[in-house]
Amino acid sequence: MPSLYPLKFKTIYKDKIWGGQKIKTYLHKDFGTLPNCGETWEISGVKSDVSVVANGELAGESLAGLLEKYQGDLVGKKVYDHFGNVFPLLVKFIDANEDLSIQVHPGDELAKKRHNSFGKTEMWYVIEADPGSTLIAGFNKELNEQEYLEKFNSGHLIDILNKEDVKAGDVFFLPAGRVHTIGKGLLIAEIQQTSDITYRIYDFDRVDDKGNKRELHTEEALAAIDFKHYPEYKTAYQPEENKTVMLVSCPYFTTNLMEFTENTEKDYSGLDSFVIYVCVEGEFTVKHNGSDYPVKMGDCILLPKTIDKVQLETKEGFKLLESFIE
């Protein structure tokens, strides 16, 4: 078998009722003849949309196929023992030209029982935000199911939701169960569990081009919702130039921010996991084993577990999200 190396994948483009043009105009990714692009799936093990390698000797191979062949060499022994032949993370870019539906995702237990799937805990990193952009994360007060239903049934759901003003660089962690929506004007990088299960609670009475409303999942959502109120929904962090800064650490993934204006070396020999880089600004080159792998804004690259050390070289600086499973 060929030796593993830093892997790039073909982008999967998805048009959405709320999608826009920023994938093309801001991230410079060409979605062809689609009328818009709401999401790109950059690294995916979801059965309906499995990523395919775009670079090097393994080009054309699916991520699922690589997992079967390389197992722990690709993802780490501990990760492979736990997840088997399912790649555990899904990486997306999301362009919200309109508000997404108000929604919630089930946790592992409910998702397993109902869908034989993983749950969906996720995080957002805001790449770009139009002036005045907002999003919804969680509730603005403590609630129980009855109080929630009273507001929902009377058409006042918005009154109990926590709305946040948003700017580029903001981070939100969304554990399964947290009601949320991405607001109009936001371009976001999303790291999440491998799951495509969404319970749509409210869709602003939108209709598609055929005049049909999208399906709602009012009843299904009830068992998934976390009704607690939390003091903070935005993730606080202090950016530091030329340092690795932790953003999110949970059982499903750890994501750090690396903002560098100079070359650096990363040593992953003590980590029993793959590593994903999501470039959200600038560009750099991953140097490994005598080969160069250029990465620019909008690119993602997967470092297999067998890669212990890489050099990152840059001329003009870069900002990236570094994700792995601890």
Residues 134 and 215 in one domain: yes
pLDDT score, position 213:
86
Q: Is the pLDDT of residue 209 over 80?
A: no
- The residue length of the chain stands at 326
Q: Which 3 state secondary structure label does DSSP give 280?
A: strand
Do the domain assignments include residue 305?
yes
Do the domain assignments include residue 236?
no
Do the domain assignments include residue 22?
yes
Distance of alpha carbon 220 from alpha carbon 114, whole angstroms: 10
Residues 122 and 172 in one domain: yes
Percent of the chain with pLDDT over 70: 100
Do the domain assignments include residue 235?
no
Q: Is the pLDDT of residue 208 over 80?
A: no
- The CA distances from residue 111 to 92, 107, 121, 242, in Å, are 21, 6, 11, 40
Do the domain assignments include residue 308?
yes
Do the domain assignments include residue 148?
yes
pLDDT tier at 210 (50, 70, 90 boundaries)? confident
Q: Is 200 a catalytic residue?
A: yes
Of 172, 193, 222, the residue at which a domain comes to its end is 222
Q: Report which secondary-structure segment, H or E, holds 288.
A: strand 275-288
Stretch 310-324: mean pLDDT, rounded? Answer: 98
The mean of the pLDDT values for the chain is 96
pLDDT tier at 1 (50, 70, 90 boundaries)? confident
Residues 132 and 267 in one domain: no
**Six-digit token string for 34:** 């689609």
Of 188, 222, 256, the residue at which a domain comes to its end is 222
Residues 175 and 288 in one domain: no
Bridge partners, 129 (sequence order):
186
Q: How many CA atoms lie within 13 A of 115 on its CB side?
A: 18
pLDDT score, position 41:
98
pLDDT tier at 211 (50, 70, 90 boundaries)? confident
Query: What's CA 277's distance to the chain center, in Å?
Result: 12
Active-site residue, selected from the candidate residues 114, 178, 200, 206: 200
First to last CA, the chain: 27
Residues 258 and 293 in one domain: yes
Residues 291 and 189 in one domain: no
The domain of 86 spans 12-222
Of 193, 222, 251, the residue at which a domain comes to its end is 222
Residues 113 and 65 in one domain: yes
pLDDT in tens, 143-162: 999 999 999 999 999 999 99
Q: Which residues contact 237 (CB under 8 A, 6 or more apart)?
A: 171, 245, 246, 247, 257
Q: Is the pLDDT of residue 128 over 90?
A: yes
Residue with the larger pLDDT of the pair 237 and 218: 237
Q: Is the pLDDT of residue 63 over 80?
A: yes
Helix ranges (DSSP H) in the chain: 22-25, 63-70, 72-75, 77-83, 108-115, 145-153, 218-222
Residues 172 and 253 in one domain: no
Do the domain assignments include residue 233?
no
Residues 276 and 189 in one domain: no
Nearest to 180 by CA among 242, 102, 260, 124: 102
Q: Is the pLDDT of residue 292 over 90?
A: yes
pLDDT in tens, 230-267: 999 999 999 999 999 999 999 999 999 999 999 999 99
Count of structural domains, the chain: 2
pLDDT score, position 296:
98
Residues 162 and 113 in one domain: yes
Stretch 66-72: mean pLDDT, rounded? Answer: 98
Residues 214 and 175 in one domain: yes
Q: Which residues contact 288 (CB under 8 A, 6 or more apart)?
A: 5, 6, 307, 309, 310, 311
Residues 31 and 179 in one domain: yes
Q: Which of 141-150, 161-170, 208-217, 222-231 has the lowest mean pLDDT?
A: 208-217
**CATH code, domain carrying 283:** 2.60.120.10
Do the domain assignments include residue 265?
yes
